[in-house]
Copies of this chain bind each other. A is one copy, B any other.
Amino acid sequence: MSAHEHVAELARRARVAARDLALATRATKDAALQAMADALDEAAHDVLAANADDVRRAEAAGVEAGLVDRLSLDPERVSAMADGLRDLARLPDPVGEVVRGSTLANGLELRQVRVPFGVVGMIYEGRPNVTVDAAGICLKSGNAALLRGSRSAAASNAALVEVLRRAIASAGLPADCIQLVPADSRETVKELMRARGLVDVLVPRGGAGLIRSVVEESTVPVIETGVGNCHVYVDAGADLEMALAIVLNAKTQRTSVCNAAESLLVHAEIADAFLPRVVPALAAAGVVIHGDQHFLSYDGVEPATDDDFGREYLSSDISAAVVPDLAAAIDHIRRFSTGHTEAIVTGDQAAARRFVAEVDAAAVLVNASTRFTDGGEFGFGAEIGISTQKLHARGPMGLPEMTSTKYVVTGDGHVR
């Protein structure tokens, strides 16, 4: 069977499953999530054995240590995945929520109700926990999932999906609510992107290259996630102690994530006071500063290029510049922002208001670390990713963002 036929066949089976899943009650879906969690706990040994194969293959292929770590599972990580499914079962069901409703002048009753998309395709890299997260979130939101993970995690993903499918079937829902798309060739990704009419939405999660290629090539509607060249701007009116804490937290609390800070902008008025504090503090935390001429007068700072200001390092690096004023900071952010998260540190109310109004990003933070742009931190309970597009969902996506709506209009013979 060609990749085309294979993916089309999986998608057709997903559509059939999606019909049943869309009508499933919350009780049925939650029971399935509990069954999935229990099955995962019970099958931990098999999952870890499959994962050990993936890890061995990756090590033999000379994959770098960080990637191997992201690929690796241990009993705690498997247990955490199962607990994630149990958490999902406790969240409200987005399906059926009445978003708005009214009775029109002519007596027609209008309701806008949340419904599942239908079939959701996930294209992702590395970590096998995304397989379980995505399966759980899609199931709870009533969507059949086509999961296309990375080739490096193929054995782990196959073992996980096998366990999840059996549990779903045991709970009385179609096993085809969750299907794994083979990762043996790039063709299966291309076929998912062309499956318009069979797949309702694609959500790519991974590096900038993956996301760009999906956004540009897909004829299936896409929700773009994740690339974050996040700035922290320290305004003239900032409390420097607070600014230092926020910069350090945003850059160093976890460097490999999309809401980590990648660029520091400092108002010229406070540069002489702040740079002597922030430069050594970042250096002490192991951060390499790629700075403009103002920063270069400090020890250990590397010269920055425009390429640096446009980069999402995802490492212990930060670009840094001094800007003449708030307007210049906003212009710099407009030029280099990926529209993910931008933060200002200031005690000046007018500056905060202007920054919030003029910076165009999924999240704009005032006196808080960029690391807060996160579904868990926002209280959504689950997160499928962080959207950096403006259509449909922007920012952390929880369960409601994985649904569409339908207008239900009820009359008693109304005509125009």
Interface residues of A (CB under 8 A from B): 19, 22-23, 102, 104-105, 108, 110, 112, 115, 117-118, 196, 200-201, 215-216, 219, 221, 223, 239, 242, 245-246, 248-250, 253, 352, 356-358, 360-369, 371-373, 377-379, 389-392, 394-396, 404-416
Q: Which of B112, B248, B357, B416 contacts A23 (CB 8 A)?
A: B357
- Bound CA–CA A376/B235 (angstroms): 47
* Known interface pairs A221-B390, A223-B391; A367-B411 also in contact (CB < 8 Å): yes
User: Told that A364-B407, A368-B410 touch, could you supply 15 new A-B pairs with CB distance under 8 A?
Assistant: A22-B357, A23-B357, A118-B360, A201-B390, A221-B391, A245-B415, A249-B416, A360-B406, A363-B407, A365-B411, A371-B416, A372-B409, A377-B416, A390-B404, A395-B406
**CA of A352 to CA of B358 in the docked complex: distance in angstroms?**
48
Look across to chain B and name the residue whose beta carbon is closest to the beta carbon of A115. Answer: B360
Show 10 residue pairs from A and B whose CB-CB distance is below 8 angstroms, ordered by the A residue: A104-B378, A108-B368, A108-B377, A118-B360, A242-B412, A356-B408, A365-B411, A371-B415, A377-B416, A378-B407
4 tightest A-B CB contacts, nearest first: A368-B411, A249-B415, A390-B404, A392-B392
Q: Which residue on B lies nearest to A359, using beta carbons? A: B406
Q: Chain B nearest CB: distance from A276 CB in Å?
A: 20
Q: Is the CB of A367 within 8 A of B406?
A: no
Taking a contact as CB atoms under 8 Å apart, the answer to whether B104 and A414 are in contact is no
Q: Is the CB of A372 within 8 A of B406?
A: no
Cα A372 to Cα B409 with chains together (Å): 9
CB closest residue in chain B, given A254? B416
Within 8 Å CB of A390, what residues of B? 117-118, 200-201, 221, 404
Pick from B108, B250, B391: contact of A391, CB below 8 A.
B391
Residues of B within 8 A of A363 (CB): 406-409
Residues on B with C-beta less than 8 A from A104 are 377-379
Complex alpha-carbon distance, A108 and B407, angstroms: 35
Q: How far is the CA of A110 from the CA of B372 in the complex (A)?
A: 10
Please give, as numbers and ranges, the residues of chain B lying within 8 Å of A118 by CB-CB distance: 360, 390
Looking across the interface, which residue of chain B has its beta carbon closest to that of A406?
B364
